[in-house]
């Protein structure tokens, strides 16, 4: 047990190495830009001040979104997705997989779960002992199930999912703009040092290297940013882009796509004024999602929540994601309404946006 614990501790420490590397690069870029370029190289005060103002604005937004991505705790499934005590005891005593599935199906029919495994089974996490909500996956690094998991990013040492996906996209955007600002303002002095129009000083190495590093980072980050903006427009996670979610009628890579504007609003929110800031404004609760095939009336879901008195922990105190109660009965049959205990779940089929 002791060696295993020591290895886990070492692994956790090593996981911070990429984050430390990024912070060292950013720290050096700050010194190279502010001190070597603005203080020692630029002769004009007006140019120096304007460069410093623009630089610090984008640096602040970059650091803000980066650290929000790092320190936002991944959101996990609420207790409503765990097995009730009686069903849990039966599940643990049962050795037959078929009977275990029957127990899971009995519990899952009262939950807003519309996706399944490739074989049609209920998605259940043996480690966390919960029925996985749609788009939820278990992260072996974080050792937990993460709502709307996109991927585990070593550069932030955190899972990117429902609680911080907006922050992650903004981090990529502001990192790209940060590199653009550096390249656009440094290039003229880079050329002057390269062509020996300026004397060789201690600033030469920093400015030449700063331009090369910013250019390389911009190219790599921009490609990743474009990919994730494409995912936002399609309302897919990285996992879903590689493996389409499976509904009762089969795999559907566009199952969660509601049209470009609604897809963007799901990540960034319905108030444009909050889009550029790394504050939580994503729509939904992370447990259930409107799909092209299934639609749950949010007002009815909230009423059921209030009746059951169930809720999940807010994301960093910024949201209060709700847990759908166990009175919602659902089906994947097309164009049907099913009424169970007075609660209606409407199922609709729409064409691909």
Q: What pairs with residue 251 in β-bridges?
A: 246
CA 99 to chain centre: 35
Residue 253 token pair: 């890579």
Let me know if 153 is a catalytic residue. Answer: yes
Give the integer Cα–Cα distance in Å for 253 and 305: 30
Instruction: Give the CA angle between residues 309, 311, 317 to the nearest 5°.
Output: 140
Annotated catalytic residue, options 116, 136, 139, 153: 153
Give the integer Cα–Cα distance in Å for 258 and 264: 10
Q: Which of 311, 302, 297, 278 is nearest to 344 (CA)?
A: 297
Helix/strand/coil (H/E/C) assignment for every residue in 65-128: HHHHHHHCCCCCCCHHHECCHHHHHHHHHCCCHHHHHHHHHHHHCCCCCCEECCCCCCCEECCC
How deeply is 198 buried, as exposed, middle or buried, from its count of CB atoms within 10 A (0-12, 13-18, 19+)?
A: middle
CB-based contact 322:312 (threshold 8 Å): yes
Give the integer Cα–Cα distance in Å for 30 and 8: 34
Give the integer Cα–Cα distance in Å for 236 and 230: 9
pLDDT of res. 5: 75
Q: pLDDT tens string for the chain (353 positions)? A: 456 778 888 888 899 999 999 999 999 999 999 999 999 999 999 999 999 999 999 999 999 999 999 999 999 999 999 999 999 999 999 889 999 999 999 999 889 999 999 999 999 999 999 999 999 999 999 999 999 999 999 999 999 999 999 999 999 999 999 999 999 999 999 999 999 898 888 899 999 999 999 999 999 999 999 999 999 999 999 999 999 999 988 899 999 999 999 999 999 999 999 999 999 999 999 999 988 766 555 555 455 434 434 444 444 444 343 333 333 333 333 333 333 333 333 333 333 43
pLDDT of res. 268: 97
Residues 6+ positions from 137 with CB-CB distance below 8 Å: 145, 146, 149, 239
pLDDT of res. 248: 84
Give the integer Cα–Cα distance in Å for 185 and 296: 51
pLDDT of res. 201: 85
pLDDT of res. 3: 63
Residues 6+ positions from 333 with CB-CB distance below 8 Å: 347
* Residue 138 neighbours by CB distance under 10 Å: 18
Q: What one-character DSSP code corresponds to residue 295? A: B
């Amino acid at each position: 047990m002791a060696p295993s614990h020591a290895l886990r501790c070492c692994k956790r420490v090593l996981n911070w190495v990429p984050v430390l590397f990024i912070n060292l690069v950013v720290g050096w870029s700050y010194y190279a830009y502010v001190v070597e370029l603005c203080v020692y190289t630029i002769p004009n005060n007006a140019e120096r001040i304007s460069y410093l103002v623009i630089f610090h604005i984008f640096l602040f937004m970059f650091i803000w979104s980066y650290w929000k991505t790092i320190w936002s705790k991944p959101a996990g499934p609420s207790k409503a997705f765990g097995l009730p005590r009686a069903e849990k005891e039966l599940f643990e005593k049962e050795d037959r997989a078929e009977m275990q599935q029957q127990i899971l199906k009995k519990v899952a029919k009262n939950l807003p779960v519309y996706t399944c495994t490739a074989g049609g089974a209920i998605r259940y996490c043996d480690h966390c002992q919960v029925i996985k909500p749609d788009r939820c996956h278990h992260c072996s690094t974080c050792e937990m199930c993460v709502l709307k998991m996109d991927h585990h990013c070593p550069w932030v040492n955190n899972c990117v999912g429902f609680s911080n996906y907006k922050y992650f996209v903004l981090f990529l955007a502001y990192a790209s703009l940060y590199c653009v600002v550096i390249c656009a303002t440094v290039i003229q002095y880079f050329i002057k040092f390269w062509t020996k129009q300026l004397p060789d000083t201690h600033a030469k190495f920093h400015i030449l290297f700063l331009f090369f590093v910013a250019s390389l980072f911009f190219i790599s980050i921009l490609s990743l940013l474009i990919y994730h903006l494409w995912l936002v427009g399609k309302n897919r996670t990285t996992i879903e882009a590689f493996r389409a979610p499976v509904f009762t009628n089969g795999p559907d890579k566009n199952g969660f796509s509601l049209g470009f504007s609604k897809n963007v609003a799901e990540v960034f929110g319905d108030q444009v004024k909050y889009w550029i800031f790394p504050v939580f404004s994503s729509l939904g609760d992370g447990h259930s999602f409107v799909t092209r095939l299934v639609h749950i009336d949010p007002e009815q879901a909230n009423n059921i929540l209030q009746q059951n008195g169930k809720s999940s922990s807010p994301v960093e105190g910024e949201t209060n994601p709700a847990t759908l109660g166990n009175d919602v009965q659902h089906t994947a049959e097309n164009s049907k309404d099913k009424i169970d205990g007075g609660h209606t779940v409407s199922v609709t089929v729409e064409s691909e946006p």
